[in-house]
Chains A and B, each alone.
Chain A
Protein backbone atom coordinates (compact mmCIF):
# COMPACT_ATOMS: atom_id res chain seq x y z
CA UNK A 1 0.00 0.00 0.00
CA UNK A 2 1.24 3.49 -0.82
CA UNK A 3 3.04 5.75 1.59
CA UNK A 4 1.02 6.86 4.60
CA UNK A 5 0.76 10.57 5.20
CA UNK A 6 -1.23 13.19 7.07
CA UNK A 7 -4.00 13.01 4.50
CA UNK A 8 -6.80 14.66 6.42
CA UNK A 9 -7.58 18.28 5.87
CA UNK A 10 -5.40 19.17 2.89
CA UNK A 11 -6.62 20.22 -0.53
CA UNK A 12 -7.37 17.15 -2.63
CA UNK A 13 -5.56 16.33 -5.86
CA UNK A 14 -7.49 16.55 -9.13
CA UNK A 15 -6.42 13.79 -11.51
CA UNK A 16 -7.75 13.31 -15.03
CA UNK A 17 -8.97 9.87 -16.05
CA UNK A 18 -9.37 10.93 -19.67
CA UNK A 19 -11.58 13.88 -20.64
CA UNK A 20 -14.80 12.41 -19.22
CA UNK A 21 -13.79 11.40 -15.70
CA UNK A 22 -12.06 13.33 -12.92
CA UNK A 23 -10.57 11.76 -9.80
CA UNK A 24 -10.71 13.86 -6.63
CA UNK A 25 -8.10 12.20 -4.43
CA UNK A 26 -7.95 12.95 -0.72
CA UNK A 27 -5.08 10.64 0.15
CA UNK A 28 -3.41 7.32 -0.53
CA UNK A 29 -4.57 5.14 2.38
CA UNK A 30 -7.49 2.98 3.45
CA UNK A 31 -8.66 5.22 6.26
CA UNK A 32 -12.12 6.02 7.65
CA UNK A 33 -11.35 9.76 7.89
CA UNK A 34 -10.35 9.93 4.21
CA UNK A 35 -13.37 7.85 3.24
CA UNK A 36 -15.59 10.27 5.18
CA UNK A 37 -14.27 13.16 3.09
CA UNK A 38 -14.90 11.19 -0.11
CA UNK A 39 -18.46 10.41 0.93
CA UNK A 40 -19.13 13.98 2.08
CA UNK A 41 -18.11 15.34 -1.32
CA UNK A 42 -20.11 12.60 -3.01
CA UNK A 43 -23.24 13.56 -1.05
CA UNK A 44 -22.73 17.30 -1.62
CA UNK A 45 -22.28 16.87 -5.38
CA UNK A 46 -25.27 14.59 -5.79
CA UNK A 47 -27.52 16.81 -3.66
CA UNK A 48 -27.05 19.60 -6.24
CA UNK A 49 -25.35 18.07 -9.28
CA UNK A 50 -23.83 20.47 -11.80
CA UNK A 51 -25.36 20.04 -15.27
CA UNK A 52 -23.30 17.49 -17.18
CA UNK A 53 -22.33 15.41 -14.15
CA UNK A 54 -23.03 11.79 -15.12
CA UNK A 55 -22.36 9.75 -11.99
CA UNK A 56 -19.94 9.49 -9.12
CA UNK A 57 -18.09 6.46 -7.78
CA UNK A 58 -16.83 6.76 -4.22
CA UNK A 59 -13.80 4.61 -3.34
CA UNK A 60 -11.60 4.27 -0.25
CA UNK A 61 -9.76 7.54 -0.67
CA UNK A 62 -10.99 9.23 -3.83
CA UNK A 63 -14.14 10.12 -5.71
CA UNK A 64 -14.35 9.40 -9.43
CA UNK A 65 -16.67 11.86 -11.16
CA UNK A 66 -17.87 10.76 -14.60
CA UNK A 67 -19.04 13.76 -16.64
CA UNK A 68 -20.03 14.84 -20.13
CA UNK A 69 -17.24 17.22 -21.16
CA UNK A 70 -19.45 18.70 -23.91
CA UNK A 71 -21.88 19.88 -21.23
CA UNK A 72 -19.52 20.50 -18.30
CA UNK A 73 -15.95 21.71 -18.69
CA UNK A 74 -13.17 20.38 -16.50
CA UNK A 75 -12.60 23.86 -15.08
CA UNK A 76 -16.28 24.29 -14.21
CA UNK A 77 -16.30 20.84 -12.59
CA UNK A 78 -13.21 21.60 -10.50
CA UNK A 79 -14.80 24.90 -9.46
CA UNK A 80 -18.01 23.09 -8.48
CA UNK A 81 -16.04 20.58 -6.40
CA UNK A 82 -14.03 23.32 -4.71
CA UNK A 83 -17.25 25.19 -4.01
CA UNK A 84 -18.79 22.16 -2.31
CA UNK A 85 -15.61 21.59 -0.29
CA UNK A 86 -15.51 25.24 0.79
CA UNK A 87 -19.16 25.10 1.88
CA UNK A 88 -17.94 22.43 4.24
CA UNK A 89 -20.61 20.18 2.76
CA UNK A 90 -18.59 17.73 4.81
CA UNK A 91 -21.53 17.30 7.19
CA UNK A 92 -22.54 13.94 5.82
CA UNK A 93 -25.44 12.31 7.57
CA UNK A 94 -23.97 9.43 9.56
CA UNK A 95 -24.27 6.12 7.78
CA UNK A 96 -26.90 3.61 8.81
CA UNK A 97 -26.05 0.66 11.08
CA UNK A 98 -26.98 -2.78 9.87
CA UNK A 99 -27.23 -6.19 11.48
CA UNK A 100 -26.57 -8.85 8.90
CA UNK A 101 -27.58 -12.46 9.61
CA UNK A 102 -24.67 -14.73 8.90
CA UNK A 103 -24.17 -18.49 9.16
CA UNK A 104 -20.76 -19.85 10.20
CA UNK A 105 -21.97 -23.47 10.11
CA UNK A 106 -19.25 -25.65 8.50
CA UNK A 107 -21.39 -26.20 5.38
CA UNK A 108 -21.50 -22.39 4.87
CA UNK A 109 -17.93 -21.62 5.93
CA UNK A 110 -15.98 -23.31 3.18
CA UNK A 111 -12.57 -21.86 4.01
CA UNK A 112 -12.81 -21.29 7.76
CA UNK A 113 -10.61 -24.28 8.65
CA UNK A 114 -7.92 -22.98 6.30
CA UNK A 115 -8.15 -19.54 7.90
CA UNK A 116 -8.00 -21.08 11.38
CA UNK A 117 -4.77 -22.87 10.41
CA UNK A 118 -3.24 -19.72 8.92
CA UNK A 119 -4.30 -17.57 11.89
CA UNK A 120 -3.22 -20.17 14.47
CA UNK A 121 -6.64 -20.29 16.13
CA UNK A 122 -9.51 -22.73 16.26
CA UNK A 123 -12.52 -22.44 14.00
CA UNK A 124 -14.88 -21.25 16.73
CA UNK A 125 -12.45 -18.48 17.71
CA UNK A 126 -12.21 -17.31 14.10
CA UNK A 127 -16.00 -17.13 13.80
CA UNK A 128 -16.28 -15.34 17.15
CA UNK A 129 -13.60 -12.78 16.24
CA UNK A 130 -15.29 -12.11 12.92
CA UNK A 131 -18.76 -11.77 14.41
CA UNK A 132 -17.68 -9.45 17.23
CA UNK A 133 -16.25 -6.75 15.02
CA UNK A 134 -18.04 -3.72 13.58
CA UNK A 135 -17.39 -3.09 9.90
CA UNK A 136 -17.49 -0.03 7.71
CA UNK A 137 -18.63 -0.32 4.10
CA UNK A 138 -15.82 1.53 2.32
CA UNK A 139 -16.90 0.99 -1.27
CA UNK A 140 -18.25 -1.40 -3.87
CA UNK A 141 -16.36 -2.77 -6.84
CA UNK A 142 -15.24 -5.91 -8.58
CA UNK A 143 -18.78 -7.26 -9.12
CA UNK A 144 -22.41 -6.21 -8.59
CA UNK A 145 -23.06 -5.82 -4.88
CA UNK A 146 -19.50 -6.72 -3.90
CA UNK A 147 -18.84 -4.61 -0.79
CA UNK A 148 -15.40 -3.94 0.68
CA UNK A 149 -15.51 -3.72 4.46
CA UNK A 150 -12.98 -2.27 6.90
CA UNK A 151 -12.79 -3.17 10.57
CA UNK A 152 -11.52 -6.74 10.38
CA UNK A 153 -9.72 -7.73 13.61
CA UNK A 154 -5.93 -7.70 13.22
CA UNK A 155 -5.77 -11.40 14.16
CA UNK A 156 -7.63 -12.22 10.92
CA UNK A 157 -5.53 -9.98 8.66
CA UNK A 158 -4.22 -12.53 6.17
CA UNK A 159 -2.92 -11.80 2.70
CA UNK A 160 -5.22 -12.80 -0.14
CA UNK A 161 -4.76 -16.22 -1.72
CA UNK A 162 -1.83 -16.42 -4.13
CA UNK A 163 -4.24 -17.66 -6.80
CA UNK A 164 -8.04 -17.57 -6.95
CA UNK A 165 -10.25 -20.34 -5.56
CA UNK A 166 -13.32 -21.59 -7.49
CA UNK A 167 -16.40 -19.34 -7.46
CA UNK A 168 -17.75 -18.54 -4.01
CA UNK A 169 -21.42 -19.13 -3.29
CA UNK A 170 -23.91 -16.22 -3.40
CA UNK A 171 -23.89 -14.09 -0.28
CA UNK A 172 -20.36 -15.14 0.64
CA UNK A 173 -18.91 -13.38 3.68
CA UNK A 174 -15.18 -13.27 3.10
CA UNK A 175 -11.84 -11.97 4.32
CA UNK A 176 -8.55 -11.25 2.58
CA UNK A 177 -5.78 -8.67 2.43
CA UNK A 178 -6.71 -7.27 5.85
CA UNK A 179 -10.27 -6.48 4.76
CA UNK A 180 -13.63 -8.18 4.88
CA UNK A 181 -16.12 -8.38 2.01
CA UNK A 182 -19.55 -9.59 1.01
CA UNK A 183 -19.85 -11.06 -2.47
CA UNK A 184 -23.41 -11.08 -3.75
CA UNK A 185 -22.89 -13.12 -6.95
CA UNK A 186 -20.70 -16.21 -7.28
CA UNK A 187 -17.26 -15.26 -8.64
CA UNK A 188 -13.83 -16.89 -8.54
CA UNK A 189 -12.05 -15.15 -5.69
CA UNK A 190 -8.73 -14.66 -3.96
CA UNK A 191 -10.57 -14.19 -0.67
CA UNK A 192 -11.39 -16.78 2.02
CA UNK A 193 -15.07 -17.69 2.56
CA UNK A 194 -15.81 -17.56 6.30
CA UNK A 195 -19.61 -17.66 6.26
CA UNK A 196 -22.70 -16.89 4.22
CA UNK A 197 -25.48 -14.36 4.59
CA UNK A 198 -29.00 -14.94 3.29
CA UNK A 199 -29.30 -11.17 2.67
CA UNK A 200 -28.68 -9.88 -0.81
CA UNK A 201 -26.84 -6.58 -1.15
CA UNK A 202 -28.17 -6.35 -4.70
CA UNK A 203 -31.45 -7.88 -5.81
CA UNK A 204 -32.73 -6.82 -9.19
CA UNK A 205 -36.39 -5.86 -9.06
CA UNK A 206 -36.42 -5.37 -5.28
CA UNK A 207 -36.97 -1.84 -4.00
CA UNK A 208 -34.34 -0.81 -3.12
CA UNK A 209 -32.24 -2.92 -5.49
CA UNK A 210 -29.17 -1.93 -3.47
CA UNK A 211 -29.50 -2.22 0.26
CA UNK A 212 -26.42 -0.75 1.83
CA UNK A 213 -24.55 2.45 1.02
CA UNK A 214 -20.86 3.19 1.23
CA UNK A 215 -20.27 4.68 4.67
CA UNK A 216 -22.83 2.45 6.41
CA UNK A 217 -21.62 0.22 9.24
CA UNK A 218 -22.60 -3.36 9.83
CA UNK A 219 -22.29 -6.26 12.22
CA UNK A 220 -22.72 -9.94 11.53
CA UNK A 221 -25.23 -11.82 13.67
CA UNK A 222 -24.53 -15.57 13.80
CA UNK A 223 -27.52 -17.75 12.89
CA UNK A 224 -27.75 -21.53 12.66
CA UNK A 225 -28.24 -23.45 9.42
CA UNK A 226 -32.00 -23.83 9.92
CA UNK A 227 -32.47 -20.09 10.47
CA UNK A 228 -30.26 -19.37 7.45
CA UNK A 229 -32.44 -21.54 5.23
CA UNK A 230 -35.63 -19.90 6.48
CA UNK A 231 -34.21 -16.39 6.01
CA UNK A 232 -32.85 -17.23 2.59
CA UNK A 233 -36.32 -18.31 1.50
CA UNK A 234 -37.76 -15.01 2.69
CA UNK A 235 -34.97 -13.05 0.99
CA UNK A 236 -35.64 -14.91 -2.26
CA UNK A 237 -39.23 -13.68 -2.00
CA UNK A 238 -37.97 -10.09 -2.04
CA UNK A 239 -37.95 -9.49 1.71
CA UNK A 240 -35.10 -7.66 3.43
CA UNK A 241 -33.85 -9.88 6.24
CA UNK A 242 -31.05 -7.64 7.54
CA UNK A 243 -32.07 -5.16 10.23
CA UNK A 244 -31.24 -1.49 10.25
CA UNK A 245 -30.98 0.87 13.21
CA UNK A 246 -31.55 4.58 12.73
Chain B
Protein backbone atom coordinates (compact mmCIF):
# COMPACT_ATOMS: atom_id res chain seq x y z
CA UNK B 1 0.00 0.00 0.00
CA UNK B 2 1.20 3.51 -0.87
CA UNK B 3 -0.01 6.25 1.48
CA UNK B 4 -0.14 9.82 0.22
CA UNK B 5 1.15 12.11 2.97
CA UNK B 6 0.98 15.49 1.26
CA UNK B 7 -0.47 16.58 -2.08
CA UNK B 8 -1.35 20.08 -3.17
CA UNK B 9 -3.21 19.29 -6.35
CA UNK B 10 -2.03 18.14 -9.73
CA UNK B 11 -0.88 14.62 -8.83
CA UNK B 12 -2.83 11.92 -10.68
CA UNK B 13 -2.52 8.30 -11.74
CA UNK B 14 -1.75 7.92 -15.43
CA UNK B 15 -1.18 4.95 -17.69
CA UNK B 16 -0.37 5.46 -21.39
CA UNK B 17 -3.84 6.90 -21.99
CA UNK B 18 -7.40 5.93 -22.78
CA UNK B 19 -7.52 5.14 -26.47
CA UNK B 20 -10.26 3.77 -28.67
CA UNK B 21 -13.18 5.97 -27.62
CA UNK B 22 -12.19 9.43 -28.84
CA UNK B 23 -14.99 8.97 -31.39
CA UNK B 24 -17.44 9.15 -28.46
CA UNK B 25 -15.92 12.27 -26.95
CA UNK B 26 -13.62 10.47 -24.53
CA UNK B 27 -10.41 12.37 -23.78
CA UNK B 28 -7.32 10.13 -23.91
CA UNK B 29 -5.58 11.72 -20.88
CA UNK B 30 -2.33 9.79 -20.18
CA UNK B 31 1.04 11.31 -19.29
CA UNK B 32 1.95 14.90 -20.17
CA UNK B 33 5.53 13.72 -20.77
CA UNK B 34 5.18 10.26 -22.33
CA UNK B 35 8.97 9.82 -22.58
CA UNK B 36 9.58 10.38 -18.86
CA UNK B 37 6.58 8.18 -17.98
CA UNK B 38 7.97 5.38 -20.16
CA UNK B 39 11.47 5.86 -18.73
CA UNK B 40 10.31 5.46 -15.12
CA UNK B 41 8.37 2.32 -16.00
CA UNK B 42 11.15 0.92 -18.15
CA UNK B 43 13.67 1.34 -15.30
CA UNK B 44 11.66 -1.21 -13.31
CA UNK B 45 11.05 -3.56 -16.22
CA UNK B 46 7.37 -2.60 -16.35
CA UNK B 47 5.36 -2.43 -19.55
CA UNK B 48 5.82 1.04 -21.09
CA UNK B 49 2.27 2.09 -20.35
CA UNK B 50 1.98 0.84 -16.75
CA UNK B 51 0.10 3.02 -14.27
CA UNK B 52 2.38 5.54 -12.58
CA UNK B 53 1.89 8.60 -10.39
CA UNK B 54 2.25 11.86 -12.27
CA UNK B 55 3.32 14.69 -9.96
CA UNK B 56 2.90 18.34 -10.96
CA UNK B 57 4.39 21.54 -9.55
CA UNK B 58 2.28 21.13 -6.41
CA UNK B 59 4.54 18.28 -5.33
CA UNK B 60 3.76 15.11 -3.39
CA UNK B 61 4.96 13.21 -0.34
CA UNK B 62 4.28 9.56 0.19
CA UNK B 63 5.27 6.47 2.14
CA UNK B 64 4.78 2.74 1.78
CA UNK B 65 2.99 0.64 4.35
CA UNK B 66 3.33 -3.04 5.24
CA UNK B 67 6.10 -3.99 2.81
CA UNK B 68 9.07 -2.43 1.00
CA UNK B 69 8.61 -1.39 -2.61
CA UNK B 70 10.94 -0.58 -5.50
CA UNK B 71 10.14 2.70 -7.19
CA UNK B 72 11.62 4.71 -10.06
CA UNK B 73 11.38 8.45 -10.63
CA UNK B 74 11.87 10.35 -13.88
CA UNK B 75 10.81 13.71 -15.28
CA UNK B 76 11.83 17.33 -14.80
CA UNK B 77 14.51 18.60 -12.43
CA UNK B 78 12.36 18.16 -9.33
CA UNK B 79 13.82 18.30 -5.82
CA UNK B 80 13.39 14.84 -4.42
CA UNK B 81 14.44 13.52 -1.06
CA UNK B 82 13.96 10.39 0.94
CA UNK B 83 13.93 11.09 4.70
CA UNK B 84 15.83 14.31 3.92
CA UNK B 85 18.49 12.63 1.80
CA UNK B 86 18.53 14.29 -1.66
CA UNK B 87 18.03 12.06 -4.67
CA UNK B 88 18.76 12.75 -8.33
CA UNK B 89 15.64 13.70 -10.33
CA UNK B 90 15.83 10.37 -12.18
CA UNK B 91 16.42 7.64 -9.62
CA UNK B 92 15.39 4.19 -8.48
CA UNK B 93 15.42 2.78 -4.96
CA UNK B 94 13.68 0.56 -2.45
CA UNK B 95 11.23 2.52 -0.33
CA UNK B 96 10.74 0.91 3.09
CA UNK B 97 7.89 1.38 5.54
CA UNK B 98 8.68 4.34 7.74
CA UNK B 99 10.55 6.27 5.05
CA UNK B 100 9.01 9.43 3.61
CA UNK B 101 9.64 10.34 -0.03
CA UNK B 102 9.17 14.00 -0.92
CA UNK B 103 8.86 15.32 -4.47
CA UNK B 104 8.91 19.09 -4.86
CA UNK B 105 9.11 21.41 -7.86
CA UNK B 106 12.66 22.36 -8.76
CA UNK B 107 14.51 24.76 -11.02
CA UNK B 108 13.16 23.19 -14.20
CA UNK B 109 10.45 20.81 -15.28
CA UNK B 110 6.76 20.60 -14.58
CA UNK B 111 6.04 16.88 -14.29
CA UNK B 112 7.67 14.00 -12.40
CA UNK B 113 6.70 10.34 -12.73
CA UNK B 114 6.85 7.74 -10.00
CA UNK B 115 6.58 4.17 -11.23
CA UNK B 116 6.30 1.13 -8.96
CA UNK B 117 7.65 -2.41 -9.27
CA UNK B 118 4.37 -4.27 -9.49
CA UNK B 119 1.02 -2.72 -10.24
CA UNK B 120 -1.00 0.11 -8.76
CA UNK B 121 -4.30 -1.68 -8.34
CA UNK B 122 -7.07 0.62 -9.56
CA UNK B 123 -9.98 -0.40 -11.77
CA UNK B 124 -9.63 0.54 -15.44
CA UNK B 125 -12.37 2.62 -17.07
CA UNK B 126 -12.84 1.87 -20.79
CA UNK B 127 -9.62 -0.12 -20.67
CA UNK B 128 -7.41 2.50 -19.05
CA UNK B 129 -6.47 3.76 -15.58
CA UNK B 130 -5.60 7.26 -16.84
CA UNK B 131 -7.22 9.94 -14.70
CA UNK B 132 -9.31 12.58 -16.46
CA UNK B 133 -10.48 14.84 -13.66
CA UNK B 134 -12.80 16.89 -15.90
CA UNK B 135 -14.76 13.73 -16.80
CA UNK B 136 -14.37 12.46 -13.24
CA UNK B 137 -13.14 9.02 -14.14
CA UNK B 138 -10.01 6.90 -14.22
CA UNK B 139 -7.26 6.68 -11.62
CA UNK B 140 -8.42 7.01 -8.04
CA UNK B 141 -12.14 7.89 -8.20
CA UNK B 142 -11.51 10.16 -11.17
CA UNK B 143 -9.71 12.78 -9.12
CA UNK B 144 -6.29 14.07 -8.16
CA UNK B 145 -4.51 12.37 -5.26
CA UNK B 146 -4.94 13.94 -1.83
CA UNK B 147 -3.44 13.54 1.64
CA UNK B 148 -4.47 10.28 3.30
CA UNK B 149 -5.26 8.46 0.05
CA UNK B 150 -4.13 4.85 -0.07
CA UNK B 151 -3.08 3.12 -3.29
CA UNK B 152 -3.33 -0.65 -3.22
CA UNK B 153 -0.54 -2.58 -4.90
CA UNK B 154 -0.51 -5.91 -6.66
CA UNK B 155 2.57 -8.08 -7.25
CA UNK B 156 4.74 -5.56 -5.45
CA UNK B 157 8.48 -6.24 -5.52
CA UNK B 158 11.51 -4.89 -3.67
CA UNK B 159 15.19 -5.59 -4.22
CA UNK B 160 16.93 -2.48 -5.55
CA UNK B 161 18.19 -1.34 -2.15
CA UNK B 162 20.07 1.96 -1.95
CA UNK B 163 19.22 4.76 -4.39
CA UNK B 164 20.72 4.60 -7.86
CA UNK B 165 20.53 7.11 -10.70
CA UNK B 166 18.83 6.28 -13.99
CA UNK B 167 21.11 6.59 -16.99
CA UNK B 168 18.61 8.43 -19.16
CA UNK B 169 20.42 11.28 -20.94
CA UNK B 170 17.37 11.79 -23.18
CA UNK B 171 15.61 13.42 -20.24
CA UNK B 172 18.04 16.37 -20.40
CA UNK B 173 15.95 18.33 -22.83
CA UNK B 174 16.09 22.04 -23.36
CA UNK B 175 12.69 23.54 -24.15
CA UNK B 176 14.24 26.29 -26.32
CA UNK B 177 13.28 24.75 -29.64
CA UNK B 178 10.09 22.78 -30.14
CA UNK B 179 9.75 20.98 -33.45
CA UNK B 180 6.40 21.05 -35.25
CA UNK B 181 4.80 19.71 -38.40
CA UNK B 182 2.77 22.50 -40.04
CA UNK B 183 -0.97 21.97 -40.38
CA UNK B 184 -3.62 20.72 -40.49
CA UNK B 185 -5.02 24.27 -40.93
CA UNK B 186 -1.89 26.23 -41.84
CA UNK B 187 -3.84 27.41 -44.90
CA UNK B 188 -5.86 29.64 -42.56
CA UNK B 189 -2.73 31.81 -42.18
CA UNK B 190 -0.80 33.96 -44.66
CA UNK B 191 2.80 32.88 -45.32
CA UNK B 192 4.06 35.92 -43.43
CA UNK B 193 2.09 34.82 -40.33
CA UNK B 194 3.47 31.29 -40.53
CA UNK B 195 6.95 32.81 -40.77
CA UNK B 196 6.13 34.97 -37.75
CA UNK B 197 4.92 31.91 -35.84
CA UNK B 198 8.25 30.18 -36.53
CA UNK B 199 10.58 33.12 -35.85
CA UNK B 200 8.97 34.85 -32.88
CA UNK B 201 9.83 34.06 -29.28
CA UNK B 202 6.91 32.63 -27.32
CA UNK B 203 6.67 32.56 -23.54
CA UNK B 204 4.98 29.71 -21.72
CA UNK B 205 2.16 31.10 -19.58
CA UNK B 206 1.94 29.91 -15.97
CA UNK B 207 -1.81 29.24 -16.42
CA UNK B 208 -1.22 25.97 -18.29
CA UNK B 209 -2.61 22.67 -17.05
CA UNK B 210 -2.99 19.10 -18.30
CA UNK B 211 -5.38 20.29 -20.97
CA UNK B 212 -3.28 22.95 -22.66
CA UNK B 213 -0.08 24.96 -22.74
CA UNK B 214 -0.85 28.66 -23.32
CA UNK B 215 1.71 30.87 -25.04
CA UNK B 216 2.21 34.61 -24.64
CA UNK B 217 3.72 36.80 -27.32
CA UNK B 218 2.71 38.97 -30.25
CA UNK B 219 -0.65 37.68 -31.51
CA UNK B 220 -0.95 36.02 -34.91
CA UNK B 221 -3.62 37.07 -37.38
CA UNK B 222 -5.80 34.73 -39.43
CA UNK B 223 -6.20 35.05 -43.17
CA UNK B 224 -9.52 33.16 -43.33
CA UNK B 225 -11.09 33.86 -39.93
CA UNK B 226 -10.79 31.77 -36.80
CA UNK B 227 -13.95 29.72 -37.09
CA UNK B 228 -13.65 26.27 -38.61
CA UNK B 229 -16.09 23.40 -38.62
CA UNK B 230 -14.93 21.30 -35.65
CA UNK B 231 -12.57 18.47 -36.50
CA UNK B 232 -10.24 16.07 -34.71
CA UNK B 233 -7.50 17.22 -32.33
CA UNK B 234 -4.20 15.36 -31.93
CA UNK B 235 -2.01 15.80 -28.84
CA UNK B 236 0.31 18.73 -29.52
CA UNK B 237 -2.11 20.51 -31.88
CA UNK B 238 -1.40 24.25 -31.79
CA UNK B 239 -4.68 26.07 -32.19
CA UNK B 240 -4.93 29.79 -32.72
CA UNK B 241 -8.21 31.21 -31.42
CA UNK B 242 -9.56 34.66 -32.27
CA UNK B 243 -7.22 36.62 -30.01
CA UNK B 244 -4.24 35.18 -31.91
CA UNK B 245 -2.17 33.61 -29.12
CA UNK B 246 -1.31 29.93 -29.72
CA UNK B 247 -2.62 27.23 -27.39
CA UNK B 248 -0.98 23.80 -27.50
CA UNK B 249 -3.52 21.09 -26.70
CA UNK B 250 -2.11 18.39 -24.46
CA UNK B 251 -3.12 15.12 -22.77
CA UNK B 252 -6.48 16.27 -21.36
CA UNK B 253 -7.60 17.95 -24.61
CA UNK B 254 -11.04 17.38 -26.04
CA UNK B 255 -10.83 14.94 -28.95
CA UNK B 256 -12.46 17.43 -31.35
CA UNK B 257 -12.58 21.21 -31.52
CA UNK B 258 -13.13 24.31 -33.50
CA UNK B 259 -10.14 26.64 -33.98
CA UNK B 260 -7.61 26.56 -36.83
CA UNK B 261 -4.56 24.50 -35.91
CA UNK B 262 -1.48 26.11 -37.45
CA UNK B 263 0.88 23.24 -36.57
CA UNK B 264 1.30 20.17 -34.38
CA UNK B 265 4.17 19.52 -31.95
CA UNK B 266 5.98 16.33 -32.96
CA UNK B 267 5.68 13.32 -30.66
CA UNK B 268 9.33 13.43 -29.61
CA UNK B 269 8.98 17.03 -28.37
CA UNK B 270 5.67 16.75 -26.47
CA UNK B 271 7.44 16.03 -23.19
CA UNK B 272 10.00 18.74 -23.85
CA UNK B 273 7.17 21.27 -24.12
CA UNK B 274 5.17 19.81 -21.24
CA UNK B 275 8.19 20.21 -18.95
CA UNK B 276 8.56 23.94 -19.69
CA UNK B 277 7.68 25.95 -16.61
CA UNK B 278 5.74 29.21 -16.83
CA UNK B 279 8.01 32.00 -18.09
CA UNK B 280 10.09 29.71 -20.33
CA UNK B 281 10.87 31.26 -23.73
CA UNK B 282 10.80 29.02 -26.76
CA UNK B 283 10.65 28.97 -30.53
CA UNK B 284 9.01 26.58 -32.93
CA UNK B 285 10.87 24.95 -35.82
CA UNK B 286 9.04 23.28 -38.71
CA UNK B 287 10.17 19.80 -39.70
CA UNK B 288 8.87 17.23 -42.18
CA UNK B 289 6.77 14.23 -41.22
CA UNK B 290 9.82 12.07 -42.08
CA UNK B 291 12.00 13.99 -39.59
CA UNK B 292 9.32 13.70 -36.92
CA UNK B 293 9.11 9.95 -37.47
CA UNK B 294 12.92 9.66 -37.30
CA UNK B 295 12.94 11.50 -33.96
CA UNK B 296 10.22 9.19 -32.65
CA UNK B 297 12.17 6.15 -33.83
CA UNK B 298 15.34 7.38 -32.10
CA UNK B 299 13.38 7.80 -28.86
CA UNK B 300 11.98 4.27 -29.07
CA UNK B 301 15.47 2.90 -29.80
CA UNK B 302 16.92 4.64 -26.74
CA UNK B 303 14.35 3.03 -24.44
CA UNK B 304 14.47 -0.36 -26.07
CA UNK B 305 17.53 -1.87 -24.30
CA UNK B 306 16.22 -0.94 -20.86
CA UNK B 307 17.55 1.65 -18.44
CA UNK B 308 20.98 1.29 -16.83
CA UNK B 309 21.28 2.24 -13.15
CA UNK B 310 24.44 3.74 -11.70
CA UNK B 311 25.57 4.78 -8.22
CA UNK B 312 24.34 8.21 -7.23
CA UNK B 313 27.02 10.77 -8.10
CA UNK B 314 26.40 14.27 -6.85
CA UNK B 315 26.63 16.75 -9.65
CA UNK B 316 24.53 19.36 -7.94
CA UNK B 317 25.20 20.32 -4.36
CA UNK B 318 22.32 21.76 -2.45
CA UNK B 319 23.23 24.29 0.22
CA UNK B 320 21.89 21.94 2.88
CA UNK B 321 24.19 19.23 1.59
CA UNK B 322 27.22 21.53 1.56
CA UNK B 323 26.50 22.78 5.05
CA UNK B 324 26.15 19.23 6.22
CA UNK B 325 29.56 18.40 4.80
CA UNK B 326 31.10 21.55 6.28
CA UNK B 327 32.54 22.45 2.90
CA UNK B 328 31.73 26.12 2.71
CA UNK B 329 34.65 28.14 3.99
CA UNK B 330 33.91 30.47 6.83
CA UNK B 331 30.22 29.70 6.95
CA UNK B 332 30.34 26.79 9.28
CA UNK B 333 33.03 27.19 11.88
Contact = CB atoms under 8 A, between A and B. Distances in A.
A114 B182 CA distance: 43
Contacts of A143: 25, 134-135, 254
Interface stretch (A21-29, A91-99, A103-111, A235-243): A21-29
Contacts of B135: 143-144, 185
A20 interface: yes
Interface in A117-154: 139-148
Given A57-B256, A143-B25, A144-B25, A62 B289 contact: no
A79 interface: no
B155 to A, nearest CB: 25
Given A20-B267, A55-B20, A143-B135, A2 B227 contact: yes
B229 A141 contact: no
A15 interface: yes
Interface string B123-140: 001100000001111000
A155 interface: no
Interface stretch (B110-118, B145-153, B194-202, B232-240): B232-240
B136 A66 contact: no
Interface centre among A17, A57, A63, A201 (most CB of B within 10 A): A17
A58 interface: yes
B300 interface: yes
Interface stretch (A82-90, A191-199, A202-210): A202-210
B22 A209 contact: no
A109 B210 CA distance: 34
Interface magnitude class on chain A: 35 or more
Interface stretch (B62-70, B93-101, B291-299, B307-315): B291-299
Contacts of A59: 229-232, 256
Contact of B256 (A55, A56, A139, A185): A139
> Chain A interface secondary structure, helix, strand, loop or mixed?
loop
Given A17-B183, A145-B24, A209-B126, A2 B256 contact: no
B183 A141 contact: no
A21 B231 CA distance: 12
A213 B185 CA distance: 27
Contacts of B296: 19-20, 69-70
B261 interface: yes
Interface string A8-49: 000000011111110101001110000000000000000000
27 contacts: A15-B183, A16-B183, A16-B184, A18-B236, A18-B264, A19-B181, A19-B266, A19-B293, A21-B264, A23-B232, A55-B22, A57-B22, A57-B256, A62-B231, A64-B233, A69-B293, A70-B297, A141-B25, A141-B255, A141-B256, A144-B135, A145-B25, A147-B25, A204-B125, A204-B126, A210-B21, A210-B24
Interface of B: 19-27, 125-126, 134-137, 180-185, 224-225, 227-237, 254-257, 261, 264-267, 289, 292-293, 296-297, 300
Interface of A: 1-2, 15-21, 23, 25, 28-30, 54-64, 66, 69-70, 73-74, 139-148, 185, 201-202, 204, 209-210, 214
